[in-house]
Structure 1
Amino acid sequence: MTQKPVLISGAGLASLLLARSLLLSNIPFQVFERDASISFRGQGYRLRLSSEGLDAIESVLDPPAFQRFYDVCGKTGGSGFVGFDAVTGEILEENPGGETLGSRGGKIVGISRGDMRRLFMEGCEDFVQFNKHVKGYELTDGGVRAIFADGTKSVEGALLVGGDGIKSIVAKQVSGGLLKVFDTGARGIHGQAPTTAFKGLGEGVFRLLDQSKPGRGISIITNVRPDDMGDPNVEFGWTLASVPGVIKAPNDDYTTVGKVAADIAKSLTNDWHPRFKPLFDDMNESEAAFWKITCSTPRGVPEWPNVPRVTVIGDAAHSMTPAGGIGANTAVRDSALLGRLLREAGGYNDGVTAAYEKEMRVYASEAVRTSYGLATKHFKVQIDESSQTV
């Protein structure tokens, strides 16, 4: 009897890695993505992979595919941040926060979101449908159907997995509203510049902190890897973030990209040390983009009555701040875990999602608490159940 497919909402990192796992396990699936293509919108900042994240990815991909993935990753020497005063150029401290960043071979391993999505999607292209915005689901006698924004419905699936990010309606529906994402009030701007703009920093991971004025609280994190330095076809990214109230998008529209965001980043860093100015003076203005810093309930992933045929992964289950680079690494752990459980079961069965959610809540709740704790320190944010949601 032909298996009903696993339906996956969203084509982000977690969704595509799960799809890849199902492909390798010969379990049918369909992915529904609201965008028109995988490159429809900016891919955001570069991601640092932890040892747990790398192990999860390696457990899913076959050896040749993982080697291709790992070859694309940048490897930066050192095991922690160096913090600078952005205005004076003086070293504030080595490894502020005591974070250990090395994940394999003593190197800090990083990769862009765009490259990750492209590599995870290999072989899955025929099973991804674009311009399909999932706005909910309905359970059937023998499965589940995704409901799209235009009112149409998907084929009947064995399981629906919501991997469609912080605004996932699947997450809200399956959890009965228990899964919430809070707006911390902190904001950021992502930017990119040619590798030559980073020569003044050297190799490593750097945090530049500007506290020159009361309430200013602006910082930037960037990763300078040696292998790409000087390549005219490569740009390095940086992530500028601030305490609430400092970075404001015109008309409160955080979908704004390009020169407007670039000009605000330049104005905020106008008096920074000459060593750091090229990151902004030479930036690719078209790639500048605002983003909101959000977080799930700080106490962790809530428990809701299990719905056997519906579950959630990635940001839909546990949104995190960028502090510590924990979010994406937790998301790929979700994909590896759920994919393994489905493979071991030979496809869907009634106990798979309950087993997945039980194990996911343990490591994801710890990750959310860690991420939020770092954000309270770096971004001076404070959220509780009464805070604004997104």
Structure 2
Amino acid sequence: MSKPILISGGGLASLLLARSLVRSKIPCVVFERDQAIDFRGQGYRLRLSAEGLDAIEEVLGPDGFADFYGRCGKTGGMGFSEFDAVSGEQTEHKIPEGLSSREGKVVGISRGDMREAFLQGSEGCVQWGKQVKGYEETADGVKAIFSDGTYSEEGAMLVAGEGLKSEVAKQLSGGMLKVYDTGARGIHGQASTTAFKGLGEGVFRLRDNTDKNAELMIITNVRPGEMDDPNIKFGWTMVGAPGVVRAPNDDYSIIGKDAADLAKRLTKDWHPKFKPLFNEMDELEAAFWKITISTPTGVPEWPNSPRVTVIGDAAHSMTPAGGIGANTAVRDSALLGRLLKEAGGYKEGITAAYEKEMRVYASEAVKSSWGMAKGQFGLSDSDLTTTVRAGHD
């Protein structure tokens, strides 16, 4: 039996790659640090671009994609609208180029639902409670090293998909793959659909720029067909300029009432029609988050390793501006899965071919994400002063 493809991390890119390999009958093992797929909060809703949907469809095939697409929400009609959060007045209305992805609609799905969909059919490939902290290449393969010092079985190849704090990415690139803290902070929140009725259908940005140095905004997607079911929740994402959103003790891993209370305080002067988003929120689901980005000039070129490569946020972390990150991650999965399928499994030269193509579209995406973030969140290059991941510190 051929050696499996080892995949570190059980995020979107990793699980979609595993699904691709299973469909191609290529053995693989996914190592995920969590104990289960719903072990912790799964973050916010993701907008899927045309490129992202095409990549997912390539991997899942017609039947699998039909099931996945059926889970997605489709928002149309109203397009994109921006409101002054304090006065309640509409300041912008348009259908931005690239916002719609299929059938003239904005297509989106929660991160948790997306992971569950990708996991279907490859459940037996995942080993839960296994955190990868590095790797060791052998004479004819590679082994993952876990946080407890033990080693995995020998694999033909290791794919790092464990996110922006990837230890494998640090080791592989010798510190060239860096993730910067932009200084901007946010809060994710959820509320019953009834809290969103005052908005109607569409994609909305609520902007509070009363203080130009303390700008705050909310982005939310209100979908049709679910507005009258109070058991369904819609999410919103709050983003504040550096210094505006501050978690207690600077701990951005906090989930729950502390995050909910801060969201309510920050929006206390907002127009009454927006208040239900916060007054009716599920406080237990609120969560802080840091906004980070990889080197804005693009994905660097490190000495290629035939046995090890990176996908998703481990290779290119992005801000939420434009919703580009997840779509780029699934493109990685489709590309690498296709190369492995065409080769019938591991073959020398695959990581080099993958990285060459990935750097082109991913570098463009990172640059675009940073450009939009500077405009939307009031950031500048000088805000990139602290690295989340760099070298072996």
TM range (shorter): over 0.9
- Corresponding residue for 1:340? 338
Q: Distance in 2 between matches of 1:181 and 1:3?
A: 35
Cα distance change of structure 1 residues 220 and 99 upon mapping to structure 2, 3 Å threshold: farther
Paired with 1:245 and 1:124, the residues of 2 have a C-alpha distance of: 43
2:261 equivalent in structure 1 = 263
Partner of 1:215: helix, strand, or coil?
Answer: helix
What is the CA-CA distance between 1:64 and the residue it aligns to? 1.4
Q: Is the 8 A contact 2:339 2:354 kept in 1?
A: yes
Shift of 1:386: 6.8
Further displaced range: 75-84 or 129-138? 75-84
* Pair 251,385 (structure 1): closer, same or farther in 2 beyond 3 Å: closer
- The answer on whether the counterparts of 1:182 and 1:383 sit within 8 Å (CA) in structure 2 is no
When residues 200 and 389 of structure 1 are mapped into structure 2, their CA distance, relative to the original with a 3 A threshold, is: same
1:275 is paired with a residue whose SS is helix
3-state SS in 2 of match to 1:389: strand
- Which residue of the partner structure matches residue 288 of structure 2? 290
Q: What secondary structure, in the 3-state scheme, does the structure 2 residue paired with 1:347 have?
A: coil
Question: Deviation at 1:248?
Answer: 0.2
Amino acid at match of 1:55: D
Offset of residue 385 of structure 1 = 10
Q: Which residue of structure 2 lines up, in the alignment, with residue 138 of structure 1?
A: 136
Partner of 1:253: 251
How far apart, in 2, do the equivalents of 1:182 and 1:120 lie?
A: 29
CA–CA separation in structure 2 for the residues paired with 1:47 and 1:114: 10
Matched position secondary structure for 2:235: strand
Partner residue of 1:160?
Answer: 158
Secondary structure (helix, strand or coil) at the match of 1:39 reads coil
For 2:131 and 2:386, the matched residues in 1 are separated by 24
Render the CA deviation track for 1:232-283: whole Å, top value 9, x for unaligned: 2210000000100000000000000100000000000001111100000000
Contact 1:297 1:385 in 2 (8 A): no
The one-letter amino acid of 1:236's match is: F
Shift of residue 383, structure 1, vs aligned partner: 3.5
SS in 2 for 1:196: helix
Label 1:192 to 1:368 Cα distance change in 2 as closer, same or farther (>3 A).
same
Matches within 5 A, 1:99-114: 99-114=97-112
Secondary structure of the corresponding residue to residue 341 of structure 1: helix
Is 1:80–1:99's contact at 8 Å kept on the other side of the alignment? no
The code of the aligned residue for 2:255 comes to V
> 5 Å matches for 1:111-130?
111-130=109-128
Is the Cα contact below 8 Å between 2:180 and 2:384 reproduced in 1?
Answer: no
Judge conservation of contact 2:161–2:313 (CA < 8 Å) in 1. Answer: yes
- Counterpart Cα distance in 2 of 1:228 and 1:16: 28
Structure 2 unaligned residues grouped into runs of 5+: 389-393
* 1:212 counterpart residue number: 210
Contact 2:56 2:65 (8 Å CA) reproduced: yes
Q: Contact 1:79 / 1:106 at 8 angstroms: preserved in 2?
A: no
Q: Equivalent residue for 2:363?
A: 365
Is contact 1:74–1:227 with CA below 8 Å preserved after alignment?
no
Deviation at 1:378, TM superposition (A): 1.1
Identity between Structure 1 and Structure 2 (%)? 70
Aligned partners of 1:284 and 1:79: how far apart in 2? 26
* 2:90 corresponding residue in structure 1: 91
Instruction: Quote the residue 2:317 is aligned against.
Output: 319
What is the 5 A alignment of 1:19-34? 19-34=18-33
**Separation in 1 of the partners of 2:130 and 2:102?**
38
- Please give the alpha-carbon distance, in whole angstroms, between the structure 2 residues aligned to 1:183 and 1:20: 32
Between the aligned partners of 2:383 and 2:259, the Cα distance in structure 1 is 31
Name 1:223's counterpart in structure 2.
Answer: 221
Cα separation, 1, equivalents of 2:337 and 2:221: 31
Equivalence for 1:12: 11
* Partners of 1:190 and 1:239 within 8 A in 2: yes
What are the superposed Cα offsets for residues 269-325 of structure 1, whole Å, 9 maximum, x if unpaired? 001111100000000000000000000000000001100100000000000000000
Residues 81 and 99 in structure 1, CA contact (< 8 A), matched pair in contact too: no
- Taking the aligned partners of 1:285 and 1:386, their CA distance within structure 2 comes to 31
Q: Find the residue that maps to 2:290 and give its secondary structure.
A: strand
CA contact (8 A) 1:181 1:296 kept: yes
**Does residue 1:60 correspond to 2:59, yes or no?**
yes
Contact 1:297/1:384 (<8 A) preserved: no
* Number of the residue aligned with 2:184: 186
CA distance in 1, matches of 2:72, 2:286: 22
Following TM superposition, by how much is the alpha carbon of 1:49 offset from its aligned partner in structure 2, in angstroms? 0.2
| C-alpha spacing 1:344/1:79, structure 2 compared with 1 (3 Å) | farther
Q: Partners in 2 of 1:329 and 1:33 — Cα distance? A: 21
Aligned counterparts of 2:184 and 2:52: Cα–Cα separation in 1: 26
Determine the structure 2 residue equivalent to 1:49: 48
Equivalent residue letter for 1:359: E
The one-letter amino acid of 1:245's match is G
- Runs of 4 or more, structure 1, over 6 Å off, are none
Report whether the alignment pairs 1:244 with 2:242: yes
Question: Tell me, what secondary structure is at the counterpart of 2:183?
Answer: strand
8 Å CA contact retained: 2:183, 2:384:
no
Measured in 2, the distance between the counterparts of 1:123 and 1:178 equals: 35
Structure 1: tracts of 5 or more residues without a match: none
- Which digits, 9 at most, give the CA deviation of each residue in 1:24-69, with x for residues without a partner? 0000000000111111111111000000000000000021111110
Contact 1:257 1:287 in 2 (8 A): yes
Q: Which amino acid in the other structure matches residue 47 of structure 1?
A: L
- 8 Å contact from structure 1 (residues 308, 353) kept in 2: yes
**What residue number does 1:387 align with?**
385
Q: For 1:89, give the aligned amino acid.
A: G
Cα pair distance change 1:170/1:234, threshold 3 Å: same
- Amino acid paired to 1:71: G
Aligned letter for 2:305? V
State the distance in 1 between where 2:153 and 2:382 align. Answer: 39
Instruction: Name the SS for the 2:273 alignment partner.
Output: coil
Q: TM-score scaled to structure 1, two decimals?
A: 0.98
